[in-house]
Amino acid sequence: MEYQLCPSILSADFNRLGEQIKTLEKEGIKWLHIDVMDGDFVPSISFGMPVIRSIRKESGMFFDVHLMVSAPERYIQDFVDCGADSITVHAEACEDLERAIELIRDAGVRAGVSIKPATPVNDISHLLEDVDLVLVMTVQPGFGGQKYINDCTEKIEELRELIDKEDLDVDIQVDGGINDVTMETVIRAGANLLVAGSYVFKGDLASNVKQIKKKMQKIIDTVE
Ligand code: DX5
Ligand code: ZN
């Protein structure tokens, strides 16, 4: 299984965004998590296509776009055009979730589906053959720096069991409240893509990434 630390630029210093992305790249980060918020599906507004288009020019990282947007099917092609390599939509945000996933696939990028903490795995389990990743939100979507919701661990375990049972090639991504402690919890539960905002960006970025990657590898070594 491929494990990745996916820094979320929501916690970046936007005045130095390009520089910080270069630092991440230099430290061997492969996945960049990009949180788009519309002020409707979630209370806050973050950024959109122009920012992604601009950072795309300078970065070869895998752009993992998390759309916290109502009716995201309206924007799939726009996000592909501005540089997304993967697009994740929320199950709760789509009127026709199957159609939204089909649109992402037809646009030629990887497709992800996300569930909020209160949404059961059961709501998306019929789609596991159609997606590349399932994003389990471990905080309420909308803001960085929140506390990990413990009840979500069971959902990660449930998903891991379903995916392994069917021998499917689907990544389990977690997003929200990842730190020294919860990193271990989610890896043991079966997650392999770890989104982290404040954990990565608070303080010295380069040394944080070095330390987090080391700790993450240690945990992975004990589960494999
Ligand atoms: C929350 C976003 C997250 C956020 C995570 O709605 O989807 O990606 O940046 O931030 P931390 O790691 O600080 O909880
Ligand atoms: Zn996110």
CATH number reported for the structural domain that contains residue 216 in this entry: 3.20.20.70
Answer yes or no: is the C-beta of 148 below 6 A from any ligand 1 atom. Answer: no
Q: pTM value?
A: 0.98
Spatial CA neighbour of 100 closest among 74, 119, 126, 122: 74
| Backbone torsions φ then ψ of 107, nearest 5 degrees | -80, -5
Q: How confident is the model at residue 60, as a pLDDT?
A: 97
Tell me what pLDDT residue 195 has: 98
pLDDT value, residue 126: 97
Domain count, the chain: 1
- Going from the Cα of 105 to the center of ligand 2, the distance in angstroms, rounded, reads 20
Three-state DSSP class for residue 57: coil
Which of the 8 DSSP states describes residue 93?
G
> Which of 175, 183, 200 best tests ligand 1's pocket when mutated (most atoms within 8 Å of CB)?
175
Q: Read out DSSP for 64-81? A: EEEEE-SSGGGGHHHHHH
Rg (CA), the chain: 16
Q: What is the pLDDT of residue 182?
A: 98
Contact 186, 173 (CB under 8 A): no
Q: What interhelical angle do 180-189 and 205-223 show, nearest 10?
A: 30
pLDDT at residue number 224: 82
pLDDT at 112: 98
Tokens of 155: 């959902």
Q: Which token pair is 22?
A: 């270069």
Distance 65 CA to ligand 2 centre (A): 8
pLDDT value for 101: 98
**What is the span of the domain harbouring residue 146?**
4-223
Residue 70: CB partners within 8 Å, gap ≥ 6?
38, 40, 41, 93
Phi, psi of 189 (to 5 degrees): -75, -20
Q: Which of 35, 38, 64, 171 is catalytic?
A: 35
Tell me how far apart the alpha carbons of residues 209 and 199 are, in angstroms, rounded to a whole number.
Answer: 9
Distance of CA 93 to the CA centre of its chain: 16
Order of strands across the sheet with 31-37? 4-7, 193-196, 171-175, 133-137, 110-115, 86-90, 62-68, 31-37
CA of 220 to the centre of ligand 2 (A): 22
Residues 48-76: b if buried by 16+ CB within 10 A, e if exposed: bbebbeebeeebebbbbbbbbbbebbebb
Q: Is the CB of 144 under 6 A from ligand 1?
A: yes
Ligand 1 contacts CB of residue 175 (under 6 A): yes
pLDDT digit string (tens) for the chain, length 224 residues = 899 999 999 999 999 999 999 999 999 999 999 999 999 999 999 999 999 999 999 999 999 999 999 999 999 999 999 999 999 999 999 999 999 999 999 999 999 999 999 999 999 999 999 999 999 999 999 999 999 999 999 999 999 999 999 999 999 999 999 999 999 999 999 999 999 999 999 999 999 999 999 999 999 999 98
